[in-house]
Structure 1
Amino acid sequence: MSLTRDFFIALSKNQLLNSGAKKWGLKLGAGKMVAGTDIDSMMKSVKKLNDDGISATIDNLGEFVFSKEEATEAKQHIIETMEAIHAYEVDAHMSVKLTQVGLDVDQEFCLDNMREILTIAAKYEMFVNIDMEDYAHLQPTLDVLYALMEDFSNVGTVIQAYLYRSEKDLERLKNVRLRLVKGAYKEIEEVAFQSKQEIDENYLKLIKIHLLDPGFTSIATHDHRIINEVKKFVKEHNISNDRFEFQMLYGFRTELQKELAAEGYAFTTYVPFGQDWYGYYMRRLAERPQNINLALRGLVSK
C-alpha cells in the first residue's frame, strides 16, 4: 500500500506528464473525480448537487505555476469562476491553492493576487478557502493567511491532521473557518504521523477542539467511523448544525453525501474542474489505491 501511494505521489509531481494530460482530456478515469474541464460542464454538476441540498466548494485546478504570467492567468480563471458562481446563482464558494496564484514566484505578489480575489469574493458575499499544500508550503501559506485576515473575514484555510504541529496551528486559528483533513501528501517522519491509527486519533482530536471553538468547522472525510463519532460528539455537546459541515470529494461516496444532507447536516462537496486535472487525480489515486480500477477501466475503454 505504501509503495503504491509513493508511486502515485511521485507521478503527481511529474511536470511532463502534467503537460501531456492537458491534451488527453478527462481520460484514465479522471472524469469520475473531476467535474469537467470548463465552467459550463462544472456548473451542471454543481446544480445537481444543489438539487440534493448539497453546497459546493469549487477548485479551478492549476499546478506547476512558476511565472507571474502563469499566476496572473490562474487568478483570472479564479475570478471568472467566482463571477460564474454569482451569475448561475448556485450555492458554492471557492477553494484556491496559493502556489496557483504565485506563492512560488513571490510571496508579496501572491498576497496582492489574493487580495484582489477576496475583494471580488466579498462583493458577492462569497467565502474563499485557501487549500493547504505540502509541508514546504505550510508556513508561507499561513503567513499569507494571517496577512489577509487583517483586512478580510471571508477567508479560511485547511489544517492537516497528519502533521505534528497542527494542534498548535489550530490554537491560533480558533476563530477562523477551517477545513480539517487527514492529509494527502507524503511527509517525512520528522514532521508527520505515519500510521493510520495515529492520524485518525489526531484527526478526531482536532475536530473536537475546533467544534468547541468559535470558528466554523468543515469536516472533510469519507470515513463513516469518523462521521459517526462527530455526530455523537455534537449531540453530546449541543453543537448546532449551523456550526459545522461535512465535506467529501466530488465522485466519492455520493449516496452517503446525499444521506447526510437529507439528515439535516450541512454538506459541501469539493468540486475540482479544469484542464489541469492530472496532479489532483494522481493524489486521489495515492490516497485511495482502490480507485486504480477507474484508471484501468479508462484505459481499456479507449
Structure 2
Amino acid sequence: MEAITRDFFLFLSKNHLLNNIAKKRGGSFAAGKIIGGTDFKSSIKFIRQLNDSGLSVTVDHLGEFVDSEAVTRERTAECIETIEMISREKLDSQVSLKMTSLGLDIDRKLVIENMTKILDTAERHGVMVTIDMEDEVRCQATLDIFKEFKAKYSCISTVLQAYLYRTERDLSDLADYQPFLRLVKGAYKESPEVAFPEKKDVDENYKKLIEQSLLNGNYTAIASHDDQIIEYTKMLAKKHHIPNSQFEFQMLYGMRSKTQLDLVKQGYKMRVYVPYGLDWYGYFMRRLAERPSNIAFAFKGMVKS
C-alpha cells in the first residue's frame, strides 16, 4: 500500500495541468502554511516568526530542471539577492539550491560560473549554502561540483540520500573534506538497481549513515519527521558522547510544528526547511510521496489559521 501511495503522489507531482493551476491559483493559499511565500521577500515575516520561536531556517527557491541559460542567470541573481537580504535582515537562515536550477543539464561551465557568484556572496555574508541532491543520474556530477567548491569555500554543504546503495561509499569518500552534510531518506522514484526498494532497508541504511557521519566528526543535519530516526539519533549521541553542537534536526515548514518546538525545548538545534516560489506543487507532492504520515502532517498545516 505504501508503494502505491508513493507512486500515486510521484505521478501527481509530474502532472503539468495541476502544476499550472497551482502556480496560478494556489500560491496565496499555500503561503504561510507549506511554503513561505511566492517570493523571498514575502517569506521574511514567516521566517522571523520561526526565528522568534528558537527555530533556525533554510530557504529554497522552488524550481529545478531549468533548460534556459537566461533562467539560470535569473536564478543566480535571485539567490544572491536572497543571501544579501538574509544578512541585511539579520535572519537565522541558510540557503538551499539545486544544481539543475543553475544549469547542470545545460553546461558544467555555466553551473560553475553561477555557483561561484553565489558562493562569493555567501562567504562575504557568512551564509551557508546547501547543494540539494537530486535524482541518482545527477548524483555524481553534484558531488563532483561540491568537492570542487569545498576546496575553496567554507560556506557550502550538500545532501546525501539513504535510499541509494552508493551513499555509504559516497560518505566515506567525503571524509577528507570534513563536510557539513544533510542526510535524508530520498524523494525521487529510482530503479531497484540503484536504490533500496523496501522502506525497512532505507531506514536501516539511514541509521548506519547517521552513525558513520557523526563518528567521522562531520556536522550532520538529520532531516526526518520519523520519530524512530529522531530517537535513534538522540540515543547515538548519548552513547558516543557526541555534543548537541555537532548535529541538528531538520523538518519541513508546516509539518510537525509542535515536535519542532519540543526539540528546541530539549536543547537540540532545529532547522525548518522553508521553500518559496510559484513551483510549489511538485515539491509538495514529492513530500507526500516520501512518507504516508506526511499526508496527515500536511493536512494539519494546510488548514491551520
In which range does the TM-score fall when normalised by the shorter chain?
A: over 0.9
Question: Is this contact kept in 1: 2:28–2:37, CA < 8 A?
Answer: no
Aligned-residue offset at 1:261? 0.8
Question: Is this contact kept in 2: 1:56–1:270, CA < 8 A?
Answer: yes
Residues of 1 paired with 2:126 and 2:238: CA distance?
Answer: 30
2:169 aligned partner: 168
Residues of 2 paired with 1:290 and 1:207: CA distance?
Answer: 22
Query: Which ranges of structure 2 fall in alignment gaps of 5 or more residues?
Result: none
2:232 aligned partner: 229
Aligned-residue offset at 1:4? 2.5
Aligned-residue offset at 1:20? 3.9
1:211 aligned partner: 214
Residues of 1 paired with 2:82 and 2:197: CA distance?
Answer: 37
1:187 aligned partner: 190
Aligned-residue offset at 1:149? 1.7
1:45 aligned partner: 46
2:100 aligned partner: 99
Cα displacement string for residues 94-133 of structure 1 (whole angstroms, at most 9, x for unaligned residues):
0011111111111110111111101100000111100001
Question: Is this contact kept in 1: 2:33–2:302, CA < 8 A?
Answer: no
Q: 1:29 to 1:286 in 2, by over 3 A?
A: farther
Question: Is this contact kept in 1: 2:34–2:298, CA < 8 A?
Answer: no
2:36 aligned partner: 35
2:115 aligned partner: 114
Task: Give the letter aligned to residue 126 of structure 1.
Answer: V
1:146 aligned partner: 147
Residue 26 of structure 1 aligns to a residue in which SS? helix
The alignment status of 1:254 with 2:226, answered yes or no, reads no
Aligned-residue offset at 1:28? 7.3
Q: TM-score, normalised by structure 2?
A: 0.92
Task: Give the letter aligned to residue 41 of structure 2.
Answer: D
2:69 aligned partner: 68
Alignment root-mean-square deviation, CA: 2.2
Q: 1:54 to 1:226 in 2, by over 3 A?
A: same
Q: 1:75 to 1:65 in 2, by over 3 A?
A: same
Residue 265 of structure 1 aligns to a residue in which SS? coil
Moved more, 196-205 or 284-293: 284-293
Percent of aligned pairs with the same residue? 50
Task: Give the letter aligned to residue 228 of structure 1.
Answer: E
Aligned-residue offset at 1:12? 2.0
Q: 1:238 to 1:291 in 2, by over 3 A?
A: closer
Question: Is this contact kept in 1: 2:156–2:180, CA < 8 A?
Answer: yes
Cα displacement string for residues 168-211 of structure 1 (whole angstroms, at most 9, x for unaligned residues):
00012221000001111111110111111111100000000001
Q: 1:202 to 1:299 in 2, by over 3 A?
A: closer
Task: Give the letter aligned to residue 70 of structure 2.
Answer: E
Residues of 2 paired with 1:299 and 1:245: CA distance?
Answer: 26
The alignment status of 1:277 with 2:276, answered yes or no, reads no
Residues of 1 paired with 2:30 and 2:123: CA distance?
Answer: 36
Aligned-residue offset at 1:292? 5.2
Residues of 2 paired with 1:252 and 1:294: CA distance?
Answer: 5
Q: 1:108 to 1:16 in 2, by over 3 A?
A: farther
Q: TM-score, normalised by structure 1?
A: 0.93
1:133 aligned partner: 134
Aligned-residue offset at 1:295? 8.7
Query: Which ranges of structure 1 fall in alignment gaps of 5 or more residues?
Result: none
Question: Is this contact kept in 1: 2:32–2:46, CA < 8 A?
Answer: no
Question: Is this contact kept in 2: 1:60–1:81, CA < 8 A?
Answer: no
Aligned residue-pair number: 300
Task: Give the letter aligned to residue 238 of structure 1.
Answer: H
2:5 aligned partner: 4
Q: Answer 1 or 2: higher relative contact order, Cα 8 Å, separation at least 6.
A: 1
The alignment status of 1:83 with 2:80, answered yes or no, reads no
Task: Give the letter aligned to residue 163 of structure 1.
Answer: L
Residues of 1 paired with 2:62 and 2:111: CA distance?
Answer: 17
